[in-house]
Structure 1
Amino acid sequence: MTDVVETPEAETEEVVETAVAPLDDAMVRKVIEGALLAAGQPMTVAKLLELFAVDEDREPPAKDLVQAMLEDIAADCDGRGFELVEVGSGWRFQVRAETAPWVNRLWEEKPQKYSRALLETLALIAYRQPITRGDIEEIRGVAVSSHIIKTLTEREWVKVVGHRDVPGRPSLYATTRQFLDYFNLKSLEDLPSLSELRDFEELNQSLDLDDSEKEALAEAEERDGIEEAQTEVAEAAAEGNTESAEAEAEAEAEAEAEAEAEAEAEAEAETSIESTGHDNPVEHTESEQTPQS
């Protein structure tokens, strides 16, 4: 008779799942507001979501919730001296334009005035990008100062995005995210249409610039013209120095060739004299033919 051994049933382990509580919406909003104030630069929705990703005991908020919170905060800023806007690099708090004249008094340095030539160049790059310096000069009808391109690149408003596949491979310029941020634009689609643009002289009148500001703009334009002329003179001088250097090199080469030719001639003459064994063969022959007295 065979004994039957009964095995005890395996004890089942109950896995207790700890529910991860989502962060309270009010706290999400406070974190977003604090981050935007402390960042000192625009922040994207993705960057804001990274702030919640490290919380293991909290479920991070959904992307749609963060977007909705940003829009609610922007709506709540109505009627205040600051606003929340979305620019090319993300969302940021900023002073409203109507309060800027007073707030700007916190800084003693006055905002820089830009010349008409620089603004026209920037506008052409913004609306015709990518564009070369030659294209800009062809449209404006005048040369583009190197100072203007340098200023725009140092401000990080434009950058080189490539080179045109033509002889000389000129650089192609386009605007940057910093350009969008500075002019409160979310994308290039937010640029005003060309039909909305007016002449810069009318723009100055609409801005109601005082005499000192107009003089500053005039001085900036004059400075650009002077620097452009100085650049042309320097380039011409460089070309002249190159031509004179080439002429001097050619003259030196000719002088060296003549000196070598003279040295070869003298060497041949010395060789001929040594082969005859006489210092003056003509006079020696004449002396031999003279009869003795």
Structure 2
Amino acid sequence: MSSSGSSALDEAERGSRPAVDLERALEAILMVADEPLPLVSLATALGSPMAAVRQSIERLVADYDGEGDGPVRGFELREVGGGWRIYVREAFDDIVKEFVLTQNPTKLSQAALETLAVIAYKQPISRGSVAAIRAVNVDSVVRTLLGRGLIQEAYTDSETGAIHYETTPLLLTSLGINSLDELPPISPLLADGRDGFDGLI
């Protein structure tokens, strides 16, 4: 068979890939996504037409919501800020929070404490801005803080899709304070005591 014939056959096989494979691939990507992923990013990652990806997303949403013969899942696929991401279903928020807090009693790492401090003083703040201030990748640390219930999503920027984070009442309880106003001034902890975190960007 000629190379051109083989290429055409490969393209035909790729084009005829069952939709269920595309849906499983979408699940795999969405399971590790830290932020909502737009359709164009998903389509590019999978090398599939946006229309096919959109249809697969719709089928996954219906599947997780228990439409048809399947059960309602403990998680859901939501569109937030122009992108898609898997979230714990709201009905199970308290159960998951309690589990995470009881199963993770270990102390926070230095990296987690530093990231938490940046968020506490600069909230609401995006993960990218936190990373810029600390000059390191903070993806895993942010996940840890979310899992511990010390921070939460405040809002998603409608233009960039970036999630902004803020601290939770649990942090106040953990620190033994009534409000963030009781946090010590950050300036004395910095070199010149004037610029705050902004001087570190």
Q: Larger Cα Rg: Structure 1 or Structure 2?
A: 1
Q: TM-score range by the shorter chain?
A: 0.3 to 0.5
Higher relative contact order, structure no. (Cα contacts within 8 Å, ≥ 6 residues apart): 2
Alignment TM-score, normalising by the size of structure 2: 0.40
